[in-house]
Amino acid sequence: MQRQEKPLNLRVFAKNKRLGRKLAMVTAYDLTSAMIVSAGGADAILVGDSLGMVILGHENTLPVTMDDMVHHCRAVARARPQIPVIADMPYGSFHVSIEESVHNALRLVKEAGAVAVKIEGGRQRLDVIEALIRAEVPVMGHLGLTPQSVNRLGGYRVQGRGGKAAARMLDEARLLTEAGCFALLLECVPFELASRISESISIPTIGIGAGAGCDGQVLVFHDMLGLFDGLRPKFVKQYANLGEQACEAISCFVDEVRQGVFPGPEHSYDSETPTRGKGLNQAGQPGSRKDKETSQEDSQGYLADMENGKA
Ligand code: KIV
């Protein structure tokens, strides 16, 4: 029988704003992280272009391509996470023409399984955002520190300080709401301004470095779990130190291999049980993909062992 799945939709955003219930969103970039974020009870997954830094090792998010986003978003969608998957439109994907922007957003929905996209920028992106919404692609706005503008901003700085800048951001938040965005991400914004914006617009605000007055919060998976050693801004709360734990586990494995402690008998096959070792290749692994027939037989034997609790 097929697994019953809730239809994925974005209603949770409007509903939570109406009920005054905070939204929690976390980034994910692959199957495993998506499964973890979903199992942790988050309301939505953001496949952020932060993947350029925490996964691909770029210095900033500017080099991230549409193909990168589609590749990672697909892996997230394969986890069938039961919460909406929102994908970032990367730098360059919505800057050339409306047609190209719509084409790129549709790729994220049709090829990669995203339910919505996020676009950085305010007033100057209204025409693109309206075109995407006309093409049935829901859009999350993004104001404040927009990392794709790092060269223009001259670095990663708090945005919206001072009367004029604050008034401009409030105005842009209203414009994005009127354009039809379903939510607005506020990054690195003084908490007083973020609270004021949150109270003034009808769509939920999701803050990162924007204080507790937002309607929800988002954090980057690798930052909050202590998996990434790069720049750690003040707004990141580290809820675990998995990087250190992983290092300890690897070094334990390395020691055990060198001392001949691993693998023990419980991790090894013998030659007597019929399914055990059936079709294993010379390295003792299930057969290589080169030999399709052998490989299928191998994996059946291997799975049979797993089912019997022997593998
Ligand atoms: O790319 C990203 O991860 C983001 C963060 C602000 C959450 O946009």
Provide the CA 207 distance to its chain's centre, in angstroms.
Answer: 16
Give the separation between CA 125 and CA 127, rounded to whole angstroms. 6
User: CA 205, CA 256: separation in Å to the nearest integer?
Assistant: 49
Residue 27: CB within 6 Å of ligand 1? yes
46 CB within 6 A, ligand 1:
yes
Give the closest residue (by CA) to ligand 1 atom 4. 48
Determine the residue of 23, 46, 49 to mutate for testing ligand 1's pocket, defined as the one with the most ligand atoms within 8 A of the Cβ atom. Answer: 46
84 close to ligand 1 (CB < 6 Angstrom) = no
CATH number of 11-242: 3.20.20.60
Q: Is the CB of 49 under 6 A from ligand 1?
A: yes
> For 176-291, where are the E strands, in sequence order?
183-187, 205-208, 216-219
CA of 134 to the centre of ligand 1 (A): 25
Cβ density class 91-104: b for 16+ within 10 Å, e for less: bebbeeeeeebbeb
pLDDT of the chain, 311 residues: tens digit per residue: 555 566 578 999 999 999 999 999 999 999 999 999 999 999 999 999 999 999 999 999 999 999 999 999 999 999 999 999 999 999 999 999 999 999 999 999 999 999 999 999 999 999 999 999 999 999 999 999 999 999 999 999 999 999 999 999 999 999 999 999 999 999 999 999 999 999 999 999 999 999 999 999 999 999 999 998 877 899 999 999 999 999 999 999 999 999 999 999 999 999 987 654 444 443 434 444 444 444 444 445 555 555 454 44
Distance 219 CA to ligand 1 centre (A): 7
Q: Examine the residue annotation and report whether 187 is marked as an active-site residue of this protein.
A: yes
Pairing of strands 23-27, 44-47: parallel
